[in-house]
Amino acid sequence: MGPKGLGMRDFWLYVWLRRAALIAAHVSGLALTLIISVLSRPGTSDSL
């Protein structure tokens, strides 16, 4: 059962790696949006 040469442990490792990559992409995208919105706000460029 399952793909050839792919054990249950490898399958779960793949699932967790894919989940971690998704979370990392969301977090970095959110952080980038936050940084851009903070930097583009008027009156904050001189306080940095």
pLDDT tens sequence across 15-40: 999 999 999 999 999 999 999 999 99
User: Mean pLDDT, to the nearest integer, of 10-18?
Assistant: 93
Q: Of 7 and 26, which is predicted with more confidence?
A: 26
End-to-end C-alpha distance for the chain, whole angstroms: 58
Cα 48 to Cα 43: distance, rounded to the nearest angstrom? 10
| CA–CA–CA angle 16, 35, 20 (5° rounding) | 0
